[in-house]
Amino acid sequence: MADKNVYKPRPISGFPEWSPEVRRTEQRWIDTIRRVFESYGYGNLETPSVEELDVLLAKGETDKEIYTLQRLHEGDGDEGGEARLGLHYDLTVPFARYAAQHFGELVFPFKRYQIQRVWRGERPQEGRFREFYQCDVDVIDLNGVSLTFDAEMAEVAHAVLSTLGIGPFRLRLSNRKILQGYLAGLGVADVIPAIRLLDKLDKIGAEGVVEALQVQLGLAAETAQRCVALAEISSSDASFVEAVRVLGVENELIDEGLEELVFVIEALGHLPEGRVVADLSLARGFDYYTGTVYEGAFLDYSDFGSICSGGRYDDLAGSFINQHLPGVGISIGLTRIFSKLVAEERLDLSRFSPTDVLVVLPGEEVRAVAAGVAQTLRGRGFNVELYHEPTKIGKQLRYAARKEIPFVWFPPFKPGETVHEVKDMAAGVQAEADAETWTPGG
Partner RNA sequence: GUGACCGUAGCUCAGUCGGUUAGAGCGCCAGGUUGUGGCCCUGGAGGUCGGGGGUUCAAAUCCCCUCGGUCACCCCA
Whether 297 and 304 have beta carbons less than 8 Å apart is answered as yes
Q: What 3-state class would DSSP assign to 125?
A: strand
Q: Of the candidates 29, 42, 110, 132, which one interacts with RNA according to CB under 7 A? A: 132
Q: Is 290 in the site for RNA (CB under 7 A)?
A: no
Cα 153 to Cα 151: distance, rounded to the nearest angstrom: 5
Which residues pair with residue 111 across a beta bridge? 139
Q: Under rule CB under 7 A, how many of the chain's residues touch RNA?
A: 56
Interface with RNA in residues 52-91 (CB under 7 A):
90
**CA atoms of 257 and 240, how far apart (whole Å):** 12
The closest of 199, 227, 158 to 286, measured between CA atoms, is 199
Using the rule CB under 7 A, which residue among 41, 248, 381, 394 binds RNA?
A: 394
Closest contact distance (angstroms) between CB of 301 and RNA is 11
Instruction: State the Rg of the chain over Cα.
Output: 28
Region of residue 167 (phi > 0: left; psi between -120 and 50: alpha; otherwise: beta)? left
| Distance of closest approach, residue 335 Cβ to RNA, in angstroms | 5
Binding status of residue 126 toward RNA by CB under 7 A? yes
Q: Among residue numbers 223 through 242, which ones bind RNA (CB under 7 A)?
A: none
**Binding window for RNA (CB under 7 A); candidates: 32-40, 51-59, 154-162, 392-400:** 392-400
> Among the candidate windows 67-75, 225-233, 248-256, 401-409, which touches RNA by CB under 7 A?
401-409
Q: How many CB atoms lie within 10 A of CB 374?
A: 22
- Stretch 186-225 residues interacting with RNA (CB under 7 A): 196, 200, 203
Angle between helix axes 252-267 and 147-164 (nearest 10 degrees) is 40
| Torsion angles phi and psi, residue 243, rounded to 5 | -60, -35
Contact status: 286 vs RNA (CB under 7 A): yes
409 binds RNA (CB under 7 A): no
Q: Does 308 bind RNA (CB under 7 A)?
A: yes
Site for RNA in 24-53 (CB under 7 A): none
Sheet holding 50-52, edge to edge: 50-52, 85-87, 68-69
Q: Which of 36, 336, 366, 370 binds RNA (CB under 7 A)?
A: 336
Instruction: Kindly state whether residue 123 participates in binding RNA, applying the rule CB under 7 A.
Output: yes
Q: Please, where are the H alpha helices in 57-168?
A: 92-101, 147-164
Which residues make up the interface to RNA (CB under 7 A)?
1, 8, 10, 12-14, 90, 120, 122-130, 132, 134, 196, 200, 203, 284-287, 295-296, 305-309, 331, 333, 335-336, 392-395, 397-398, 400-402, 408, 410, 413-414, 421, 423, 425-426, 428, 430
